[in-house]
Amino acid sequence: MITNPFTNLPSIRPGHQAKGLIAILGREAVLFLAALGDCARLLGAVIRSLIYNRARPEVYTTQLYHIGYLSLPIVLVTGVSMGLVMAVQAYATLIRFNAEVMSGPMVMFSLVSQIGPSMTALLVAGRAGSNIAAELGTMKVTEQIDALRVMGTDPVSYLVAPRVMALFVLMPVLGALAGCVGTFAGGIFLTKLWEVDSGAYWFQTQRYVATWDIMTGIAKCPILGLFMGIIACRQGLMTKGGATGVGESCTRAVVQGCMMVLVMNFILTLLSNKIYHLFW
């Protein structure tokens, strides 16, 4: 006779399930608050190091090259790709109403205010965020950071502050470039290949996309870059457990950085809309 192996399993009561769920939610909430506190302390240490103990200019130049210049190809390719996708989708929607010249405002507004900053930040979080976490994590598990402290060098001013400032400074440049190349790629595609009237296309774009839309999109980028750098550096400095720990730190840095970009983009969009309606 074949017996059912699941008949002797202990039954799980609904009350126990509810207590377990509450415990999990409470633990995650405590961990989230602790992470916010760590990020705030690290940001304060970065600001203090920039004022009182700034690293050599060569250190900042190196991070500008690694984070900005090496991220430029993937940002430009993504900007062109998103511009073409938005152009095709806008044209397919507006052609039904004989308003295909309005594809220009739709493409440019989407790119400069939302897609450009958010997609650029996600790409940089995946490329530069993982790189920062891996570098600092490797230095942590091989005790190089402790060696810096023994030699009298502040790890925050030498390792963390240059990376955070590079992301803070370069994110507006990368976001603006992504929006520009995407806008022109979509415009050239529609006007040259699909024969949308070029004059009307760019006239409507200039008419309906305001300077405020462009500036709010660019203003999001340094904020996203600042938080992205703090999250990646925190994960790198918290690394433990050898090579496995370095890999886990890279994964957490990318996941948390991407989640931060999505949440902060939503919050900053709400704030910009509130400010616009309040004053204009």
pLDDT tens-digit series, residues 94-149? 999 988 899 999 999 999 988 889 999 999 999 999 999 999 999 999 999 999 99
Comparing 232 with 276, the larger pLDDT belongs to 232
The pTM of the whole model exceeds 0.85: yes
Residue 131 confidence (pLDDT): 93
Whether the CA torsion 59, 130, 66, 182 is positive or negative: it is negative
pLDDT at 17: 63
pLDDT at 22: 84
At residue 16, the pLDDT reads: 61
pLDDT at 88 over 90: yes
pLDDT in tens, 149-175: 999 889 999 999 999 999 999 999 999
Give residue 28's pLDDT: 85
Cβ count within 10 A of residue 96: 8
> What pLDDT is stored for residue 13 in this prediction?
60
The whole-number pLDDT of residue 8 equals: 54
- Residue 21, pLDDT score: 79
**Is pLDDT of 6 > 70?**
no
CA distance 46 to 48: 5
- What's the rounded mean pLDDT across residues 201-216? 91
Q: Among the ranges 8-17, 22-31, 67-76, which has the highest mean pLDDT value? A: 67-76
22-36, 42-56, 127-141, 144-158: which range is least confident on average? 22-36
Mean pLDDT throughout 71-82? Answer: 94
Give the whole-angstrom CA distance, residue 165 versus residue 50.
Answer: 9
Closest by Cα among 60, 264, 68, 104 to 178: 68
To 5 degrees, how large is the angle CA 253–CA 258–CA 259? 100
Choose among 178, 211, 190, 238: nearest CA to 84.
190
